[in-house]
């Protein structure tokens, strides 16, 4: 029995030694390289297959537990508003009132009037049709706000002792291009962000957009585009004066 075990051990030792010597030969090295190469591509194929099924943050394919955002007060279209645009460090402010898709507002120098998507400015007492004075006017429309929130990826929520809540979201540049421009694009840019704030009554009173990535893709800015939409006096606007 001892002699038989000794033979087995010698055979095992010989095999290990033989393999060690074999991989030092050109044929052994080639076989070892081929084996490692094969294992690498099998792993790569598996990871690629799994990666195809994983969604990207900011896309519309990622299904997390999306909270329900309350923008009903904005959709009711009766409020005071303040829009701030930070365009490459230059600040532009617009303050006014909106009711039933009509608004009167000012940038501190010029008075403006808006009816749906038509803009007018006052010049020497005369109202003249003009382009929107601020960038990306559609992102102030309640229907577009709702669509952006629905297509954005929910990241986190912060609750304050005052009862206020804020939601952090991300949205990709291809998604923004689809919603705002009707374009289908395929680029891998840094995501854009949305911060939504609700007061203790559950009404959204502020939306902060960081659309720097999208704006650079569109050639609108060199570095950053940050927009803050603030709302107050919900339901308290009695009328919006139309241009004479």
HSE-CB for 120 with a 13 A CA cutoff? 19
Higher pLDDT, 200 or 21: 200
- Average pLDDT for 101-123: 97
Q: Cα separation of 231 and 114, whole Å?
A: 17
pLDDT at 143 > cutoff 80: yes
Q: Check residue 228 and give its pLDDT.
A: 98
Q: What is the pLDDT of residues 152-176, one digit of tens each?
A: 999 999 999 999 999 999 999 999 9
pLDDT at 63 > cutoff 50: no
The two tokens of residue 17 are 């030694």
Strands (E), 73-110: 78-87, 90-99, 102-106
**Contact call for residues 122 and 96 (beta carbons, < 8 A):** no
Q: Cα separation of 43 and 23, whole Å?
A: 23
* Nearest partner of 58 among 234, 211, 225, judged by Cα: 211
């Amino acid at each position: 029995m001892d002699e038989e075990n000794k033979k087995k051990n010698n055979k095992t030792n010989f095999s290990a030694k033989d393999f060690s010597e074999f991989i030092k030969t050109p044929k052994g090295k080639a076989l070892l390289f081929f084996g490692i190469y094969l294992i690498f591509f099998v792993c790569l194929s598996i990871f690629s297959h799994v990666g195809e099924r994983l969604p990207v943050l900011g896309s519309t394919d990622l299904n997390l537990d999306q909270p329900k955002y309350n923008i009903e007060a904005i959709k009711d279209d009766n409020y005071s508003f303040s829009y701030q645009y930070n365009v490459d460090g230059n600040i532009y402010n617009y303050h006014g009132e909106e009711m039933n898709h009509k608004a009167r507002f000012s940038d501190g120098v010029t008075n403006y009037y808006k009816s749906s998507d038509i803009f007018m400015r006052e010049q020497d007492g005369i109202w003249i049709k003009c382009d929107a004075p601020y960038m990306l006017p559609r992102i102030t429309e309640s229907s577009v706000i709702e669509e952006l929130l629905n297509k954005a990826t929910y990241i986190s929520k912060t609750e304050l002792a005052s009862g206020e809540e804020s939601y952090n979201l991300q949205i990709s540049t291809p998604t923004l291009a689809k919603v705002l421009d009707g374009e289908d694009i395929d680029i891998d840019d840094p995501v854009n962000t949305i911060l939504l704030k609700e007061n203790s009554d559950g009404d959204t009173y502020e939306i902060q957009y960081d659309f720097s990535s999208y704006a650079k893709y569109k050639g609108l800015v060199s570095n950053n585009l940050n927009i803050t939409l603030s709302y107050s006096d919900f339901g308290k606007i009695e009328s919006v004066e139309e241009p004479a």
